[in-house]
Structure 1
Amino acid sequence: MTEDDAVDDELLTIGSFAARARLSAKALRLYDRLGLLAPAHVDELSGYRYYRADQIERARLVALLRQLDMPLARVAEVVEAPDGAAAADRLAAYWADVEARVAGQRTLAEYLRGRLSGRSSEMNGKFVVETVDVPEQVLITETRHVLAGELPAWIGASLGRLEEAAKECGGIVAAPFVVYHAEVSMESDGPAESCVPVADEAAARAWVEKQNRARNTKVRVEAAQRLAYTRITKAQVAHPQILAAFEAVEEWIPEQGLWQAGPCREVYFADWDAAGAEDPVCDVAFPVR
């Protein structure tokens, strides 16, 4: 007797079940190994798998979800949902993530087409670049290795924590900013450093001493410096539009006989939540000499 032979009216062999579910036996073995669809019975001696007819719908659902390129962990969340409404909500949440990712990739493709076709200089010329002198600042900071996809949420959360902490450090005296000590992308995780300028260095150091070191908080005194910067809107902060702003400043610096004197940064001077898409919210900047 082989694994594909019939057994009884209650159970289906893997071959019969695969045919009715319109799947391959190989796919069913994979779903079993991944915990997505376990056989109703496995023969202890032969190891043959047997399924119930009422498992067909789940098998087809798993296969259809995989056609959406849904990761196995998300497939498990959908098929293990307590009811159909919950399963539909989980599918909707996944697909919203997919559409957001595709929209970002579409914008990135447009940006790359501009670069490859030689239009990047034309696009960069639309940014107005200036310099500003910044005095010495006492900073409370939080540093983290973070990938591009995690960056927006982390920036908001870390700056929120630091701005709250600034109440114990004499208050905020200048716009918060984020310094990129190395590239942050889908493959490179920085690190990035969120910074809030505060008034009282002694109070800031006392605050840091009380903190959970897991967040990598510290006090840093940043020397007076000159920044080359361009101002961008809330819509332009999104990746990859913000890359064009960084490139515009990078191109401008040597044209003015200057050179970069430190890592790039984003200075957030406006109320992000209250700002509209076309409102200026951020300066993209490089220290220069």
Structure 2
Amino acid sequence: MAEDEGVDDDLLTIGVFAARARLSAKALRLYDRLGLLAPAYVDPVSGYRYYRAGQIERARTVALLRRLDMPLAVVAEVLAAAEPRGAERLAAYWADAEARFAAQRTLAAFLRARLSGRSAEMYEKFAVETVDVPAQVVLCEKRHVLADELPTWIGASMGRLEAAARECGGVAGAPFVVYHSDVSMDSDGPAESCVPVADEAAARAWAERQGRARETTVRVEPARRLAFTRIGKSQVAFPQILAAFEAVEAWIGTRGLSYDGPCREVYFADWEAAGPEDPVCDVAFPVR
């Protein structure tokens, strides 16, 4: 019997089933291999795959989910979930996708401006100043982290360090994040969360107790002059924050200054209480 003929009223060859499901035989073989849609019967001699008509709805659902660019692993989660959890998993995936599309839309606009030679226009909205910051004792946590992991890690690490600061005389200044190298989807830094504290001896005792579990350290951050621009909460998102960093770099170049350390973000406001337009962060470069 040829593979494209039906076996009986219930069992269909892969060719017939593919036509009725409006899928290719290649896609069905892939879905079988990934455990998304197994044949109802596989001939042990010929290896031909046979399906039942009742599997058509599942096959079409798989195909439709894939049209959403849903990864196969997430498709499997949606299909495996009992009602209504499958719909909830789909909703969660799509909310993440829409957030990603919104960020990509903003990035595309940013790149259009750059490629059109209009970068200077983007920088005009950022007012750049300098400030002298005294030496500080800081609790630090350093980690290699990619861009998509960065927001979660910053919040978690700052929470840990601010809790530890209570044992070290309290928080003595605005927390900041230092970027020792680029953090992107291809480069993992490292980045370093820093919280200034009042009691150096207590801080060093705390760090000794922590050991190297989270690469926690205590150091004295030297006095620095920072060139910075102040941004609102909504501008902390990528790529708006990238434009802020570039605006400061452009300003430094026009003033003939030189860099005196890695760039940083200084968080001086209550993030949870701040509104979208409220200033929360200074994007800064040490200069001399």
* Structure 2 portions without partners, runs of 5+: none
Partner of 1:250: 249
Partner of 1:240: 239
Partner of 1:64: 64
Higher mean alpha-carbon deviation, 20-29 vs 247-256, is at 247-256
Provide TM-score, normalisation by structure 2.
0.95
Q: Distance in 2 between matches of 1:176 and 1:16?
A: 64
Partner of 1:76: 76
Partner of 2:46: 46
Partner of 2:35: 35
Higher mean alpha-carbon deviation, 1-10 vs 225-234, is at 1-10
Q: Distance in 2 between matches of 1:182 and 1:276?
A: 30
Q: What does residue range 159-170 of structure 1 map to in structure 2 within 5 Å?
A: 159-170=158-169
Amino acid at match of 2:139: I
Q: Distance in 2 between matches of 1:166 and 1:257?
A: 38
Q: Distance in 1 between matches of 2:202 and 2:16?
A: 73
Partner of 2:274: 275
Secondary structure class of the residue paired with 2:166 = helix
Amino acid at match of 1:96: A
* Structure 1 portions without partners, runs of 5+: none
Specify whether residues 159 and 76 from structure 1 end up closer, same or farther in structure 2 by C-alpha distance, changes over 3 A only.
Answer: same
CA deviation after TM superposition for structure 1 residue 212, in Å = 6.5
Amino acid at match of 1:181: H
1:121 lines up with 2:120 in the alignment = yes
Secondary structure class of the residue paired with 1:194 = strand
Secondary structure class of the residue paired with 1:213 = coil
Partner of 1:12: 12
CA deviation after TM superposition for structure 1 residue 155, in Å = 1.1
Amino acid at match of 1:56: I
Higher mean alpha-carbon deviation, 113-122 vs 223-232, is at 113-122
CA deviation after TM superposition for structure 1 residue 166, in Å = 0.8
Higher mean alpha-carbon deviation, 57-66 vs 200-209, is at 200-209
User: In the TM superposition, what whole-angstrom CA distance separates every residue of 1:95-128 from its partner, at most 9, and x where no partner exists?
Assistant: 1111111110111111112222222112212221
Higher mean alpha-carbon deviation, 220-229 vs 115-124, is at 115-124
Q: Distance in 2 between matches of 1:208 and 1:43?
A: 65
Amino acid at match of 1:54: G
Give RMSD over aligned pairs: 1.4
Amino acid at match of 2:159: G
Q: Distance in 2 between matches of 1:220 and 1:37?
A: 57
Secondary structure class of the residue paired with 1:118 = coil
Partner of 1:264: 263
User: In the TM superposition, what whole-angstrom CA distance separates every residue of 1:248-271 from its partner, at most 9, and x where no partner exists?
Assistant: 111111322311111100000000
CA deviation after TM superposition for structure 1 residue 15, in Å = 1.6
Q: What does residue range 171-250 of structure 1 map to in structure 2 within 5 Å?
A: 171-211=170-210, 213-250=212-249
Q: What does residue range 82-97 of structure 1 map to in structure 2 within 5 Å?
A: 82-83=82-83, 85-97=84-96
Any runs of at least 4 consecutive aligned residues in structure 1 with deviations exceeding 6 A, and if so which?
Answer: none
CA deviation after TM superposition for structure 1 residue 2, in Å = 2.7
Amino acid at match of 1:5: E
Secondary structure class of the residue paired with 1:231 = strand
Q: Distance in 1 between matches of 2:154 and 2:118?
A: 31
Q: Distance in 2 between matches of 1:160 and 1:275?
A: 17
Q: Distance in 2 between matches of 1:93 and 1:238?
A: 20
Secondary structure class of the residue paired with 1:210 = helix
User: In the TM superposition, what whole-angstrom CA distance separates every residue of 1:74-115 from its partner, at most 9, and x where no partner exists?
Assistant: 1111111111x2111111111111111111011111111222
CA deviation after TM superposition for structure 1 residue 214, in Å = 4.1
CA deviation after TM superposition for structure 1 residue 246, in Å = 0.7
Partner of 2:147: 148
User: In the TM superposition, what whole-angstrom CA distance separates every residue of 1:159-195 from its partner, at most 9, and x where no partner exists?
Assistant: 1111111111221100000011111122222111111
